[in-house]
A and B are shown apart, each in its own frame.
Chain A
Amino acid sequence: MKTTIIERIEDKLYQNRYLVDTGRPHITVRPHLSPSPSLLALTKICPAKCYELNEIGQVAIVSDGCLECGTCRVLCEASGDIKWNYPRGGFGVLFKFG
């Protein structure tokens, strides 16, 4: 009944403009043995799919495609699971339309 065509997130992000601050990620994940439920949720609900499980079941982040929405901050900053900042002025996503 449903024919949901899944578009790849990479294709979506490819439309956007970014100025990546190379070597200075604005978000980092605290080293952990196994992820907390909130940290694990980020692998699903991050709208830019920045968070992924690595081969040993830990959550890792590549923040290059970050849309700076703050969802991960709301869920995981208080617990210390992640360290969150905005990119330096001028860097990060640069919306053409917003």
Chain B
Amino acid sequence: MTQSKFDAIVVGAGMSGNAAAYSMARRGLKVLQLERGEHSGSKNVQGAILYADMLEAIIPNFRDDAPLERHLVEQRFWLMDDSSHTGVHYRSGDFNELKPNRYTIIRAQFDKWFSHKVREAGGTVLCETTATRLAWDLSGKVIGVHTDREGGVILADVVVLAEGVNGLLGTRAGLRDMPKSENVALAVKEMHFMPEDVIAERFGLSGSEGCVIEAGGTISRGMAGLGFLYTNKESISVGIGCLVSGLAEGMENPYRLLDAFKQHPSIRPLLAGSEIKEYAAHLIPEGGFKAIPQLFGNGWVVVGDAAQLNNAVHREGSNLAMTSGLMAGEAIFQVKSRGGLMTKRNLSLYKGILDKSFVMKDLIKHKDLPSLLHTDSHNFFMTYPTLISQAAQNFVRVDGAPKINREKATAASFIKARSRWGLISDAVRSAASWR
């Protein structure tokens, strides 16, 4: 292994790493991919929703053999207080299309499949191997990686850091900072199994149709956070994520938050009778555009979660990861094919391509939202959900009180909780951060 030199080493076999490795191997580059799990996917955790267009750009006929769970026809957004939810549901028959737009997936299985595609394309995938640090030459160029296997340095023209939000190599080398606790969410998740027909009946689904629920409110106890429930073929992924800074300040216990979420009267009946088969935890980069590190340098590029490429507002991450991996692979191939060296200057092509894509455009659009939700989390996740639940109940409950009195009471409760100026300020800041 030490004798041969690769065109590229990809560290990690998640969405971004597999996309990068596949796109380079397919174009004939000599690619080595390192994965610390027993197989690709065994260390990866996601909700998980797959966005078809971004995978289609890499593997056009992926639907033929990729392990997909359900295609999504319904999305529910719930605002919750302790005993209620106020929801917006969007369901459309349009999503029963020939090539569906979104699917639920199970990452351990999906990543194994994606990794198989990398091998088919000619890439070398080395599992059970933890990359421990980068190797440098005297000029300050990355020339390969050290691993926990015997045999010394593995050499390559370029290293693609696809090592995830908690990656070791880039942070240890000082290429990027460790994520700050206010810029990462800790999500915990359980896999609840139940028969396919029970899921279909509970969510009003047929065939391979799927439904997802995203829920915010008092379930995160005033911290910036979100609960979710995704239907798979014969299981339900249920979880909740909160900013690490919020958890640490409140000394909150994540699995107790999850248990309380599962016991909520709106969630409990959906999970009744299920068998739990796994409990997982994972960090999610939430800092948005402002948390993106330097993306390229002499002999290296960084992609996916390691580069903080995650759109928390739209709950998109794996598609940004895949797209950044694909674009890094394309940039490396272009530099290589015109005989260029993997210098910082040449690899800036990667960022050039990424800047023109939806990845950077979407992250720039929402650049102010993470800090707004962080600094004002109690209002957005505790005060408003409670007020909105009371307002909805005021509207629905019939007990002989005149409607005009109820409406006045609702308006008064908002002003009492946030003041007129506070309400206007929250509305303006929310609107501004959305633009």
Measured CB to CB, the residues of A under 8 A from B are: 1-7, 9, 12-13, 15-16, 19, 38, 41, 44-45, 47-49, 67-71, 73-75, 77-78, 85-90, 92-98
A77 to B171, CA, bound (A): 11
Inter-chain residue pair count (beta carbon < 8 A): 148
**Residues in chain B near residue A89, CB distance under 8 A:** 36, 127-130, 147-149
The 10 A-B residue pairs whose C-beta atoms are closest, nearest first, are A70-B166, A90-B128, A47-B281, A98-B107, A98-B108, A12-B279, A89-B128, A67-B281, A69-B281, A41-B248
Contact of A44 with B253 in the complex, beta carbons under 8 Å = yes
B404 at the interface (CB under 8 A from A): no
Hey, what's the 0/1 contact readout for B57-68 against A, CB within 8 Å counting as 1?
A: 000000000000
The answer to whether A96 touches B180 (Cβ under 8 A) is no
Interface flag for B247 (CB, 8 Å) = yes
Given contacts A69-B283, A88-B130, A95-B45, contact A77 B252 (CB under 8 A): no
With A38-B248, A70-B166 known as contacts, the answer to whether A96 contacts B278 (CB < 8 A) is yes
User: With the chains together, A13 CA to B41 CA distance in Å?
Assistant: 19
**Residue of A at shortest CB range from B83?**
A1
Contact of A48 among B111, B248, B281, B282 (CB under 8 A): B281
**Nearest CB of chain A from residue B370's CB, rounded to whole Å:** 16
Q: Given the interface contacts A15-B278, A47-B281, does A98 sit within 8 Å of B259 by beta carbon?
A: no
Interface-lining segment among B185-193, B289-297, B313-321, B338-346: B185-193
* Distance of A93 Cα from B277 Cα, bound (Å): 14
Report yes or no: B263 in contact with A98, Cβ–Cβ below 8 A: no
* Interface residue B179 (Cβ < 8 Å from any Cβ of A): yes
A87, B178: Cα distance in complex, Å: 19
> Contact at B37–A97, with CB atoms within 8 Å?
no
Report yes or no: A4 in contact with B263, Cβ–Cβ below 8 A.
yes
Closest to A2 in B: B82
Residue of B nearest to A85 (CB): B168
Q: How far is the CA of A85 from the CA of B130 in the complex (A)?
A: 10
Chain A nearest CB from B278 CB (Å) reads 5
**10 pairs from A and B in contact (CB 8 Å cutoff):** A41-B247, A41-B248, A44-B247, A44-B252, A67-B281, A69-B282, A74-B166, A89-B147, A95-B41, A97-B280
Residues in chain A near residue B208, CB distance under 8 A: none
Assess A98 versus B41: contact at CB under 8 Å? Given A15-B277, A67-B281, A90-B127: yes
A71 contacts B280, C-beta separation under 8 Å? no
From residue 250 to 296 of chain B, which have CB atoms closer than 8 A to chain A? Answer: 251-256, 259-260, 263, 276-283
B window 98-150: CB within 8 A of A: 106-109, 111, 127-130, 147-149
Q: Which residues of A lie under 8 Å from residue B165 when comparing CB positions?
A: 70
Q: What residues on B are CB-neighbors of A12 within 8 Å?
A: 190, 255, 276, 279
Taking CB atoms, residues of chain B closer than 8 Å to A74 are 166, 178-181, 184, 244, 283
**Cβ 8 A contact of B38, one of A69, A85, A90:** A90
Q: Are the CB atoms of A16 and B278 closer together than 8 Å? A: yes
Q: Which of B129, B256, B280 is the one whose CB lies under 8 Å from A67?
A: B280
Contact B255 A47 (CB under 8 A): yes
Query: Which of A16, A71, A93, A97 sits near B244, CB closer than 8 Å?
Result: A71
Check if B281 sits within 8 Å of A90, measured CB to CB.
no
B378-397 vs A, CB cutoff 8 Å, 1 = contact: the mask equals 00000000000000000000
B75 within 8 A of A: no
